[in-house]
């Protein structure tokens, strides 16, 4: 049994941003026989996020979130030393809260508005077979069948081409008003060239029913979560990868390199100019786009000695394409990061003390910035011409930590860790806001907001 609760709050210039998770997991592991192994898991998760503001004794708060109840069973059957069969099922009950607003006026009177929750049941069954043909070659192939049922109560809208509501259909509690289904095949190949090296390949299809619509601007990083519905088709991805893996000097070092390509179908995005957050009719502005992602990943690890650690590097590209965005050409997705580098070192100073250090670097996310502005009736309006045509500043930071092993007892082990997050106090951008300069009206400025500078921490760990 495990549980977790965490919440973050951020405030600046009369506004606030919060996000947090609550989770609980119950897992039962059962050895039914010498050959059959069963895992049964029940998971509850609650993710909530929102923004707020306070001006002149008035307050405004907007919240949204996702609640999931997940039940699943996984079976592993060891048919022989060279063959293992896996199969199982899972079912997730989704409850999406698109948005709730609460306003308190100067007189202390509160009013609220809440969008209707979206509910759906996502389920799947799977089967896989891992076969070792000999000491050098093995294959793992499988098939998964998944399906989604949208459930009432719900009002389902049909939209005309201009986005206006054409028809409304009402459905009762737990009534199924829409369904999707699909087959997801996959295969993994493993060829041991010799004792030091191996070649691996994989291919597969995945179907995703829960979607994240990114806010393309560099302002508040608030995204919207949607479930597949009569107006939003499931996302289908096809991916293939090939990798080379090698050990050096009697497994003291590990090296791997891998290339991959992923193709996206029915990737949901929004029409330019759409109000993404707190839009009751956002489905009218959601369009299906194409997508592709490809790249090279490299990894080197040192396993033994006083100094251990690893280095990883990824060169990648993630793009989208739609006839109605950026004149129909390919444009970078919000998650597109061309370069990503991680360096980790762990040095054993003595049997009691261990020093560790980490350095992380990656290309800034793609964002949409205004390319022009105009004034109307004394107000300034910004014009956005290109989706994700700009970049957030590149991100990098260093962390360092010192761990001391405390005195161990027969049934008790513990250690004390002192660490510093963001050692050289890099002010990485959390968001960028474009606004009028308060002191020089008519001039536009970009204001960077950073969350964390240098953060010291002390952690005590124990096992019993």
| pTM score, whole prediction | 0.85
Residues 6+ apart with CB under 8 A from 179: 147, 148, 149, 150
Q: What are phi and psi of 334, to 5 degrees?
A: -60, -35
How many Cβ atoms sit within 10 Å of the Cβ of residue 137? 12
Distances in whole angstroms, Cα of residue 159 to Cα of each of 17, 88, 172, 283, 325: 33, 39, 21, 9, 20
Give the model's pLDDT for residue 221: 59
**1-36 pLDDT tens trace:** 999 999 988 876 667 888 899 999 999 999 999 999
Give the model's pLDDT for residue 277: 67
Q: What is the mean pLDDT of residues 51-56?
A: 78
Q: Could you tell me which residue, 61 or 299, shows the higher pLDDT?
A: 299
Confidence of residue 215 (pLDDT cuts 50, 70, 90): low
Give the model's pLDDT for residue 160: 80
Give the model's pLDDT for residue 52: 83
Pairing of strands 58-80, 36-55: antiparallel
As given in the structure block, the two tokens for residue 309 are: 């650690």
Asked whether the predicted pLDDT for residue 218 surpasses 60, the reply is: no
Asked whether the predicted pLDDT for residue 53 surpasses 60, the reply is: yes
Grouping H, G, I as helix, E, B as strand and the rest as coil, residue 246 is strand
Each residue of 422-435: b (16+ CB within 10 Å) or e? Answer: bbeeeebbbbbeee
Give the model's pLDDT for residue 373: 81
How many Cβ atoms sit within 10 Å of the Cβ of residue 34? 7
Give the model's pLDDT for residue 216: 60
Give the model's pLDDT for residue 220: 61
Asked whether the predicted pLDDT for residue 100 surpasses 90, the reply is: no
Q: Could you tell me which residue, 336 or 279, shows the higher pLDDT?
A: 336
How many Cβ atoms sit within 10 Å of the Cβ of residue 22? 15
Which region among 7-16, 59-68, 292-301 has the lowest average model confidence (pLDDT)? Answer: 7-16
Q: Could you tell me which residue, 231 or 314, shows the higher pLDDT?
A: 314
**113-156 pLDDT tens trace:** 778 889 999 999 999 999 999 989 999 999 999 999 999 988 88
Beta strands in 32-136 (DSSP E): 36-55, 58-80, 83-104, 110-114, 118-132
Asked whether the predicted pLDDT for residue 266 surpasses 70, the reply is: yes
């Amino acid at each position: 049994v495990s549980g977790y609760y965490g919440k973050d709050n951020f405030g600046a210039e009369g506004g606030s941003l919060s996000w947090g998770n609550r989770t609980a997991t119950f897992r039962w592991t059962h050895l039914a026989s010498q050959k059959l192994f069963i895992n049964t898991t029940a998971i509850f998760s609650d993710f909530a996020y929102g923004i707020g503001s306070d001006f002149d004794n008035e307050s405004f708060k907007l919240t949204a979130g996702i609640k999931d109840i997940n039940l699943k069973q996984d079976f592993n059957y060891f048919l022989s030393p060279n063959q293992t069969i896996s199969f199982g099922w899972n079912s997730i009950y989704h409850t999406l809260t698109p948005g709730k607003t609460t306003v308190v006026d100067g007189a202390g009177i509160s009013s609220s508005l809440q969008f209707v929750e979206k509910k759906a049941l996502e389920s799947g069954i799977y089967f896989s077979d891992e076969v070792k043909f000999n000491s050098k070659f093995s294959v793992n192939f499988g098939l998964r069948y998944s399906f989604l049922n949208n459930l009432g109560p719900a009002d389902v809208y049909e939209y005309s081409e201009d986005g206006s509501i054409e028809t409304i259909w009402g459905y009762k509690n737990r009534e199924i008003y829409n369904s999707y289904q699909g087959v997801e095949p996959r295969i993994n190949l493993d060829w041991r060239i010799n004792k030091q090296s191996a070649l691996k390949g994989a291919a597969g299809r995945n179907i995703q029913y829960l979607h994240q619509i990114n806010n393309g601007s560099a302002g508040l990083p608030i995204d919207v979560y949607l479930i597949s519905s009569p107006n939003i088709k499931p996302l289908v991805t096809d991916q293939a990868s090939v990798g080379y893996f090698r050990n050096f000097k009697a497994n003291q070092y590990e090296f791997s390199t891998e290339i991959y390509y992923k193709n996206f179908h029915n990737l949901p995005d929004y029409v330019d100019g759409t109000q993404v957050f707190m839009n009751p009719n956002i489905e009218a502005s959601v369009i299906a786009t194409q997508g592709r992602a490809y790249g090279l990943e490299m990894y080197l690890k040192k396993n033994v000695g006083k100094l251990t650690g690893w280095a990883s590097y990824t060169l990648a590209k993630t793009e989208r394409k739609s006839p109605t965005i950026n004149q129909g050409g390919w444009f970078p997705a919000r998650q597109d990061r061309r370069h990503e580098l991680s360096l980790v070192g762990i040095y054993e100073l003595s049997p009691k003390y261990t020093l560790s250090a980490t350095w992380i670097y990656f290309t800034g996310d793609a964002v949409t910035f205004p390319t022009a502005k105009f004034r109307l009736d004394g107000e300034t309006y910004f014009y956005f011409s290109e989706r994700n045509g700009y970049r957030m500043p590149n991100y990098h930071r260093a962390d360092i930590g010192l761990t001391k092993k405390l005195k161990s007892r027969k049934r008790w082990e513990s250690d004390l860790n002192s660490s510093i997050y963001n050692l050289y106090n890099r002010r990485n951008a959390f968001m960028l806001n474009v606004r009028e300069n308060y002191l020089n009206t008519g001039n536009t400025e970009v204001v960077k907001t950073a969350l964390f500078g240098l953060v010291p921490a002390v952690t005590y760990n124990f096992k019993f």
